[in-house]
Amino acid sequence: MSEATASQTTASGSDRPMIEIDHLNKWYGSFHVLRDINLTVTKGERIVICGPSGSGKSTMIRCINHLEEHQQGSIVVNGVPMTNDVKRIEQIRRNVGMVFQHFNLFPHLTVLENCCLSQIWVQKKPRAEAEKTAMEYLERVQIANQALKYPGQLSGGQQQRVAIARALCMRPEVMLFDEPTSALDPEMIKEVLDVMIELAHEGMTMLCVTHEMGFAKTVADRVIFMDQGQIIEEAPPHEFFNNPRSERTQLFLSQILGH
Amino acid sequence: MTTDSTFRTEMIEAREAPDQRRGVIGWFRANLFNGPINSIVSIVVIYLLARLVWPFLEWAVIDADWIGTTRDACTGDGACWVFISARFESIIYGFYPDAARWRVDIVFALLAILVAWLAVPKLPYKKWVALFALVGLPIIAYFLLVGGSFGLEYVPTRAWGGLMLTLTIAVLGIVGSLPLGIILALGRRSKMPFVKGICVIFIEFWRGVPLITVLFMASVMLPLFVPGDFDFDKLLRALIGIMFFWSAYMAEVIRSGLQAIGKGQTEAGQALGLNYWQRTGLIVLPQALKLVIPGIVNTFIALFKDTSLVLIIGLFDLLAIIRAGLTDSNWLGFSTEGYVFAAAVYWVFCFSMSRYSQYIERRLNTGHKR
Amino acid sequence: MWRNPAIRALIVQAVLFLVLAVFIGYLVHNTLLNLEARGIHTGFGFLEGRAGFSIPQTLIEYTSDSTYGRTFVIGLLNTLLVSALGIVAATIIGFLVGIARLSPNWLLARLATIYVETFRNIPLLVQILFWYYAVLRALPSPRQSLSLFDAFFFNVRGMVMPNPQPLDGFAATPWALLVAVVVTILFGLFAKRRQASTGKALPVYWIGLTIIVGLPLIVFLATGSPLEWTLPEMAGFNFRGGVNILPELLALWLALSIYTAAFIAEIVRSGILSVSHGQTEAARSLSLPEAITLRKIVIPQAMRVIIPQMTSQYLNLIKNSSLATAIGYPDLVAVFAGTTLNQTGQAIEIIAMTMAVYLVISLTVSFLMNLYNARTLLKER
């Protein structure tokens, strides 16, 4: 561990491990949801995770910022090993941004306040500075003109872009996307994917649970296929789509691309 | 960065969770003693239960007297339920003449059958049974309970009392307030300003005042409203007050259902060429009423609890009969038994109704999701 | 003509108006005849008359020589007193029980559920009678009073507790309290501004609490503790000194608070549950600490659901306080619509005045509530 901690301050190479998941096991009651997950994500890597519903893909990325507790195995994020200690968990979460399927914006706060809240209360920034940062990111997701509206006044696509900006305001090292486009109307999916593609080009480390195979083909460094709580196959996108090796992957791809 | 693809050919079998807490001790540890704060809370609660519930059980069951007819039977340290059993008949029938009590029994039985029929979801002809309960039952009950015709002895409402009076008021209260509430709810949504205004004032007035003042009004003001020689029955006066009062609450419950049904259904009805009453009666109202059954049952629970207020204007309902029994010089000092028993009776009725309303709510929710 | 909906609506309303007018006219006609037959003069002149009866609890000066109008005020004040006490207690118990129902501790959650299911399914009147006749009237006579710390005594005549007597210089303490409140508000504003400019948050709650408690306490002690508690003392068959609280008030207060708290607990529970799990997860993913999540995310959203429903419970409590008349607590209904009505026979005026009081309270609160709802309505497309 001390090696990893040391490298946190010095290393900036692109093969420094950002997330290390080792023999991760998780149960819901007696149901074994995650089975021996091993995954290392290096800095700047973009990973797309797909698989049938109930395969444990959301649960896995939710373990990375401790929204779900695991029972066995270890998770190290940016050199910080995950424990049950609240301070440690908060430290990890500060480095990990998350975007949810249903946006989860705070409906009683304006877009700007949504983006400032954690900067003010976690990073202890002066309000003016927090607002400046927030406006920068809102500008980048092209929604700065809506900053004073409430989430309920925006379309789904706009809300999801705000959610991305809100997570970015904490300047995280890693972004987790949990099916960010599944709750959107078809015409809004593109605006969100465009933001995500731009983010990928800037070198953000990303883990995306998504069924947008076009997105996987364009930006992913690796595609991971999960089923029954385990990683079945991981491969670069061209191999994954053109030459899937496992039967389950083939079946899944034929179902999802077939129609 | 790995460029080779890796894949799995053999699936990992599901294993058992490592430290599943099983068995009684495991359950206790997981639910009561996980962490220091929880343990302290658990111990405090257990102590409280030991201090409160156990003595109550001891008083109400273990040390209680059950058998006997007079006060002499009360020998134990606990409750003396003889107080209740000695006057059980009057708690049920009030002062209704012995010889005519079979008439009350028939009405009770009829009511029980109708309620059961309406409450069990599988039984057919719900609408007709409901209609019969709203119209037929009151008529039959009137002739049976009041008497004076078909060779039945006349029993004035003065002699009515106990559970029988409580149920009479509750049932007539709902039978009267439901239709009135429907009319008010429709009126409040009317486009005619005068009709709407009258309904709004009516509803907001009754909802703004306490039931007691309504009962006072019914008992002291209503007699002034009718010609001097007209003998206005006390029970009838109370019933009028109760019906008006609860119809306002009922109207608001039904209005929420009408709002939930929305414009689409009305427009569909208009497209079919139905007129207002056809649209309302055939399309909107049946759906709205079904939607607000839980709300109607909850209003009925409130109405049932509030029937006890008639005690204040001198009617002898269940609570008043028990209270009257407590002033009997032979039975002084049994207040606890009396009120605990009254509480238990009301509780059984209200709790079962609230459980039923929750059950319906769950059924409606799943129905909507499907 | 009947086919034209506008004209038809007009005719329907005209007919309805006529029917109502005739009906009301008939009632008024009957009433006037009846009143004449009974020799009752209508009007509010009776309010000037001498009441001639005494009232066991009066918050302002009253003797049996006071007017009937005064009995109205006395009754109203007593209603407001028990309502205010009940609202405070019901809110505290309700919040505690509602939160307890959501506790991860199985036993505590069950206990809270039992509380709610028991007390909301028993008529309030039964509960009032129970507390009054079965508990408070069953207490011993003053001589055998149950005592708590030798300062509070419970007996069949109610509760006797120490009576605070302010001495010279006591006036400084309430002033200190006022100053402390103002200082705390100013400090809160300062802290907010400081956080906005430097980002550093101050422990506003702790410092504010210290000021509000500390400053009056220091002033109180510095002026030589100018408050004397007259302890109740047994003298003959009753207590001398101290304040006596009527058993009627205690019973009504207990029953109203316990009954209403059961409903408030359910409102609090459903309010908290109405904040979706996604909101707390989003807050966590932003690494907001639990306390901030609660303060900035959960409570503000839950309160939008809780406050309107709670207000209607408060109104219910105020209306339910009229059950006082069953045990003889001298509230508006018992005193004015009871004794005064019986003595004067002015049924219409008295019932109308009594109802008007409750109506004014209800309508005012509903109006304020509508303003609140309009203000906090979540903006939507």
pLDDT tens by residue, C242-280: 778 888 999 999 999 999 999 999 999 999 999 989 999
- Percent of chain C whose pLDDT exceeds 90: 38
DSSP secondary structure, B98-113, as one string: GGGHHHHHHHHHHHHH
Residue range A29-47: average pLDDT? Answer: 90
* In chain B, residues 324-363 whose CB comes closer than 8 Å to chain C: 326, 333, 335-336, 338-340, 342-343, 346-347, 350-351, 354
Distance from CA of C314 to the nearest CA of B (A): 12
What per-residue confidence (pLDDT) applies to A1?
Answer: 36
Task: Please state, in angstroms and rounded to a whole number, the distance separating the CA atoms of residues C275 and B195.
Answer: 40
What per-residue confidence (pLDDT) applies to B263?
Answer: 77
* Residue B335 Cα distances to B83, B164, B306, B327, B368, angstroms: 10, 22, 21, 9, 48
Write the DSSP symbol of residue B314: T
Which among C16, C31, C123 has CB closest to B305?
A: C123
Q: How many CB atoms lie within 10 A of CB B112?
A: 10
Instruction: Return the top range by mean pLDDT from A192-201, B327-336, C5-14.
Output: A192-201
Other chains touching C, judged by 3 or more CB pairs under 8 Å: A, B
Contacts of C170 (CB under 8 A, 6+ apart): C223, C226, C227
Question: Does A72 contact B at CB distance below 8 Å?
Answer: yes
What per-residue confidence (pLDDT) applies to B19?
Answer: 64
Task: Please state, in angstroms and rounded to a whole number, the distance separating the CA atoms of residues A208 and B82.
Answer: 73
- Percent of chain C whose pLDDT exceeds 70: 98
Other chains touching B, judged by 3 or more CB pairs under 8 Å: A, C
* Sheet containing A31-42: order of strands: A31-42, A17-28, A72-77, A80-81
Which among A106, A126, A166 has CB closest to C198?
A: A126
Question: Does C351 contact B at CB distance below 8 Å?
Answer: yes
pLDDT tens by residue, B172-221: 898 899 999 999 999 998 888 888 999 999 999 999 999 999 999 888 88
Q: Which of A1-5, A59-63, B267-271, B272-276 has the lowest mean pLDDT?
A: A1-5
Helix (H, G, I), strand (E, B) or coil at B36: helix
Mean pLDDT taken over chain C = 87
Which among A31, A45, A233 has CB closest to B7?
A: A233
pLDDT tens by residue, A117-149: 999 999 888 888 999 999 999 999 999 999 999
Distance from CA of B226 to the nearest CA of C (A): 6
What per-residue confidence (pLDDT) applies to C379?
Answer: 66
Q: pLDDT band for position A6 (50/70/90)? A: very low
* In chain C, residues 53-112 whose CB comes closer than 8 Å to chain B: 103-108, 111
Question: Does B305 contact C at CB distance below 8 Å?
Answer: yes
Of B90, B60, B66, the C-alpha closest to B318 is B90
Q: What are phi and psi of A23, to 5 degrees?
A: 45, 50
What per-residue confidence (pLDDT) applies to C2?
Answer: 62
Q: How many CB atoms lie within 10 A of CB B193?
A: 10
Tokens linked to C102: 């959501």
Cβ <8 Å between C288 and A118:
yes
DSSP secondary structure, C95-133, as one string: HHHHHHHT-S-HHHHHHHHHHHHHHTTS-HHHHHHIIII
For the cut 80, the answer to whether the pLDDT of residue C225 exceeds it is no
What per-residue confidence (pLDDT) applies to A12?
Answer: 44
Which among C285, C290, C379 has CB closest to A93?
A: C285
Cβ <8 Å between A149 and C379:
yes
For the cut 60, the answer to whether the pLDDT of residue A10 exceeds it is no
pLDDT < 50 stretches in chain B: 1-2, 368-370
Q: pLDDT band for position C317 (50/70/90)? A: very high
3-state secondary structure chain A: CHHHHHHHHHCCCCCCEEEEEEEEEEEECCEEEEEEEEEEEECCCEEEEECCCCCCHHHHHHHHCCCCCCCEEEEEECCEECCCCHHHHHHHHHHEEEECCCCCCCCCCCHHHHHHHHHHHCCCCCHHHHHHHHHHHHHHCCCHHHCCCCHHHCCHHHHHHHHHHHHHCCCCCEEEEECCCCCCCHHHHHHHHHHHHHHHHCCCEEEEECCCHHHHHHHCCEEEEEECCEEEEEECHHHHHHCCCCHHHHHHHHHHHHC
For the cut 90, the answer to whether the pLDDT of residue C125 exceeds it is yes
For the cut 80, the answer to whether the pLDDT of residue C381 exceeds it is no
Q: pLDDT band for position A8 (50/70/90)? A: very low
Q: Please answer whether residues A226 and A49 qualify as being in contact, where contact means their C-beta atoms are separated by less than 8 angstroms.
A: yes
Tokens linked to B318: 């269940």
* In chain C, residues 179-218 whose CB comes closer than 8 Å to chain A: 195-201
Q: Please answer whether residues A226 and A252 qualify as being in contact, where contact means their C-beta atoms are separated by less than 8 angstroms.
A: no
For the cut 90, the answer to whether the pLDDT of residue A226 exceeds it is yes
Cβ <8 Å between A32 and B14:
yes
Domains and CATH numbers, chain B: 23-81 (no CATH), 83-96+155-368 (1.10.3720.10)
Question: Does B254 contact C at CB distance below 8 Å?
Answer: no
Q: At what angle do helices C172-198 and A127-140 cross, to 10 degrees?
A: 40
* In chain B, residues 4-23 whose CB comes closer than 8 Å to chain A: 4-9, 11-12, 14-20
Which among C195, C284, C292 has CB closest to A93?
A: C284
Q: ipTM of this complex > 0.90?
A: no
Long-range contacts formed by C223-228: CB under 8 A, 24+ apart: C223/C169, C223/C170, C223/C172, C223/C173, C224/C169, C226/C166, C226/C167, C226/C168, C226/C169, C226/C170, C226/C173, C227/C164, C227/C165, C227/C166, C227/C167, C227/C170, C227/C173, C228/C164, C228/C165, C228/C167
Q: Which residues of C touch A98 (CB under 8 A)?
A: 282, 285
pTM value is: 0.86
Q: How many CB atoms lie within 10 A of CB C183?
A: 14
Task: Please state, in angstroms and rounded to a whole number, the distance separating the CA atoms of residues A249 and A257.
Answer: 12
DSSP secondary structure, B123-172, as one string: -S-HHHHHHIIIIIHHHHHHHHHH-SSTTPPP--GGG--HHHHHHHHHHH
What per-residue confidence (pLDDT) applies to A3?
Answer: 39
For the cut 70, the answer to whether the pLDDT of residue C1 exceeds it is no
Contacts of C185 (CB under 8 A, 6+ apart): none
Question: Does A190 contact B at CB distance below 8 Å?
Answer: no
